[in-house]
Structure 1
Amino acid sequence: MDKITKAFRVKSENVKKVKKLAKDNRRNIGDTLDLIIEYYFENHGTS
Structure 2
Amino acid sequence: MDILYLLIPLSVVLVLFVLASLWWAVYRGQFENIEQEGERILRGD
TM-score range, shorter chain: 0.3 to 0.5
Q: Provide the TM-score with structure 2 as the length reference.
A: 0.39
TM-score normalized by the length of structure 1: 0.37
Greater C-alpha Rg: 2
Higher RCO structure, 1 or 2 (CA under 8 Å, sep 6+): 1
